[in-house]
Structure 1
Amino acid sequence: MPPHPSSSVQKAREEIAGRLREIRRDAGFSGRELAVRCGWSESKSSRIENAKTPPSDSDIRSWCRACAVDDQAPDLIAANRQSADAHVQWRRLQRSGLRRLQESTGDLYQQTRMFRVYVSDVIPGFLQTPGYAAALLSSIAGFRGTPDDVSDAVVARIRRNAVLNHGARRFSFVLEEAVLRYRMCSAETMAAQLGHLLGVMDLQNIAVGIVPFSEQRTVWPMPTFTIFDDVRVHAGTLDAASTLTEPSQVELYARAFDRLSHGAARGAAARSLVVGALASLD
């Protein structure tokens, strides 16, 4: 059973506290000396180091400045801010169903101007047809035991995906070829989905790359992730959707996306892979 959300929050706080403790020790300071340099009580340093009191942004800046590692402050501040919601447990949404999950990212989608999406398992949610989305969400609902609101969830997903039609936004997708082959639905529904994908590939604000099975890889297939502008990453796992905002984390995923994108077929070569997958449905 996945950990309770509160345990994830505490674990994140403990990790931040541990990083601050290591910074102090690497600087060669005692807790008392650090407190003097920061201008607060020794007990405050102890509470922060033992994850009893979450540090504020200014606390982290003071801590890093006192230890002469100001460059580490941005990552620590980002981690501190996301500690309460970075690890969003899927089971928190079970009471309200999958529709709520689709709607929960609506504001983020409206605010983002550049989306980079890598998928290794299913057609990206942005590009799904109602039929494919219904089959996939039904499978998820059955596996996770969520309320049966698949029809409403599909409507919410398609409504959310209207951002694709806004020319001011840019989308870059990298798909593993396996995504075109996995049978998540009937052959008829899959054929419609692949046909829709071919149509989407003609849109000016959308770039689709497909990594062929035959490609000599420079980086391994990874779990699905989405980068929103250059400030946020959503990385999916079986039990949770992690939100990552530390600059170093975002940079790491951006580097991975670039590597994966480098080996992707595009244009006519990518369309040929989709057509081949369509032909295999016969």
Structure 2
Amino acid sequence: MTTHPDADRVALGARLRELRTDAGLTGKDVAARLRWQRSRVSRLETGKQTPTPSDLDQWAAAVGAPETAADLKSRLRGVRSQQRAWRRQLASGHRGVQEKYVAEYRRTSALRGYEATVVPGLFQTPEYARHLLIANADLMGTPRDTEAAVRARMKRQEVLYEMDKTFRILLWEGALHALVCPPEVMAGQLDRLMGLMGMTSVSFGIVPLGAPLRITPKHGFWIFDEERVVVETINTELQLESADDVTLYGRVWDLLNESALHDAAARRLLGRARVALG
């Protein structure tokens, strides 16, 4: 896999293409309006070339949507940075971030992850995701584009049904009891997790409360194709690409997996959390 900004650039290109098609224009039309080569339009839309801020201003004007220029330039800043503050990424809402992950997950063949406090976005129901996105927008003081962001997050889950991909996910049992949403929404989310455990592409383990632990990670993390680690803190997303970092997080995941329960034992933990909701 190449560096993460490539995925950001692909997502930005997809947004440019969406604006063009929404305006009823062809690539040739946009090239003519901007007096560009048609190949330049194609490279930008496919993520093979990084646009400049001026390119984005011109594009937004050419498709009759100058109000989208600020959002496009916000996404461009994400392409250019490996350590990105959430407030900056979310300046125009959550949709752009979710679309970035759609492109990222499509490029990934094998994913290992660990979460301690929340059900991963890859497994969330729309209702559960909606409550989290609203709460995060309120925390960051960023725009609420909740429904568009939920749709993008659900689109990310299409990769679960691709047979050439594997997802090995660990979850701390406490996340099954954390009421970040109403109990009826949490009940639906637990049912969703139960259903996912039968999928061939998914290996889902739960680290139970009270389990002996050889390591106590301070945060969740995701390992993409054993080449890059993504760590999300409250204010920043980190991209770790050195071989030493990837190896270290891989060892942490392996140690957590030693304490995790799978299959029938994990189902019992899900059932226990479901019953606790009353």
Runs of 4+ residues over 3 Å off in structure 1: none
- 8 Å CA contact 2:220, 2:231 repeated in 1: yes
Aligned residue for 1:117?
113
Aligned residue for 2:186?
190
For residues 199-235 of structure 1, the C-alpha deviation after alignment (integer angstroms, 9 at most, x for no partner) is 0011011001101112011111431111001111100
**Where do 5+ consecutive residues of structure 2 fail to align?**
1-79
- 8 Å CA contact 2:217, 2:252 repeated in 1: no
- 8 Å CA contact 2:90, 2:97 repeated in 1: no
Q: Determine helix, strand or coil for the equivalent of 1:96.
A: coil
Aligned residue for 1:244?
240
Pairwise CA RMSD: 1.5
Give the counterpart of 1:274 among 259, 264, 270: 270
Paired positions, count: 201
Counterpart-to-counterpart distance in 1, 2:213 and 2:113: 18
Counterpart-to-counterpart distance in 1, 2:167 and 2:140: 30
- 8 Å CA contact 2:121, 2:129 repeated in 1: yes
Counterpart-to-counterpart distance in 1, 2:174 and 2:167: 21
Give the counterpart of 2:231 among 232, 235, 248: 235
Counterpart-to-counterpart distance in 1, 2:208 and 2:247: 25
Counterpart-to-counterpart distance in 2, 1:97 and 1:180: 27
Aligned residue for 1:135?
131
TM-score, with length taken from structure 1: 0.69
Give the counterpart of 1:202 among 198, 203, 208: 198
- 8 Å CA contact 2:112, 2:223 repeated in 1: yes
Q: Determine helix, strand or coil for the equivalent of 1:122.
A: coil
Percent identity for Structure 1 against Structure 2: 37
Could you tell me how far 1:95 is from its partner in structure 2?
2.3
**Where do 5+ consecutive residues of structure 1 fail to align?**
1-83
Could you tell me how far 1:108 is from its partner in structure 2?
1.8
Counterpart-to-counterpart distance in 1, 2:123 and 2:191: 11
Q: Determine helix, strand or coil for the equivalent of 1:103.
A: helix
Counterpart-to-counterpart distance in 1, 2:217 and 2:194: 23
Aligned residue for 1:96?
92
Aligned residue for 2:163?
167
**Aligned partner of 2:114: which letter?**
Y
| Structure showing greater Rg | 1
- 8 Å CA contact 1:117, 1:226 repeated in 2: yes
- 8 Å CA contact 1:118, 1:173 repeated in 2: yes
Counterpart-to-counterpart distance in 1, 2:158 and 2:208: 29
For residues 87-144 of structure 1, the C-alpha deviation after alignment (integer angstroms, 9 at most, x for no partner) is 1111212322101110112222111100101000100110000000001111101111
Map 1:4-83 → 2, pairs under 5 A: none
Aligned residue for 1:85?
81
Counterpart-to-counterpart distance in 2, 1:194 and 1:235: 25
Counterpart-to-counterpart distance in 1, 2:143 and 2:247: 37
Structure 1 pair 249–221 and aligned structure 2 pair: CA distance change class (3 A) = closer
- 8 Å CA contact 2:84, 2:237 repeated in 1: yes
TM-score, with length taken from structure 2: 0.70
- 8 Å CA contact 2:172, 2:206 repeated in 1: yes
- 8 Å CA contact 1:235, 1:243 repeated in 2: yes
- 8 Å CA contact 1:234, 1:242 repeated in 2: yes
